[in-house]
Homo-oligomer: A and B are copies of this chain.
Amino acid sequence: MKKMKRQPTHPGNIIKKDYLEPLSLTITEMATTLGVSRKTLSKILNERGTVTPDMALRLSRAFDTTPDLWLNLQKNYDLWQAEHSSKEWLRVKPLAKQLLHSNI
């Protein structure tokens, strides 16, 4: 398991650099293709929006990928944010190892 050292790439970046730009597609066009508003797509591309499961399915249809590709990117991004935005979770005390890893 890899521990993320720096902020993971936001899915919006991949969409823009690996799809829209190479394909010369405008955001307006792409939003129409995806069946969402320009605002929704624009927010994702500018890292202010989230790839929801529904959006992942739409992207997977349009780009012939798995929906997991997009959800994994979003998941890693969200996890990194949660890890760094609050440290509250660090106060959770691990259950005793002998309790967890006993093979009785």
The reply to whether B35 and A92 form a contact with Cβ atoms under 8 Å apart is yes
The residue of chain B having its C-beta at the shortest distance from the C-beta of A71 within the complex is: B75
Size band of the interface chain A makes with B:
35 or more
Q: How many chain copies?
A: 2
Distance to closest chain B CB from A86 (angstroms): 7
- Once bound together, how far apart are the Cα atoms of A90 and B88, in whole Å? 40
- Report if A92-B62 is in contact (Cβ < 8 Å); known contacts: A68-B1, A79-B68: yes
Q: A9-17, A37-45, A94-102: which lies at the B interface? A: A94-102
Distance to closest chain B CB from A58 (angstroms): 5
> 5 additional contacts, CB 8 Å, given A58-B89, A68-B79?
A35-B91, A56-B82, A62-B94, A64-B97, A68-B75
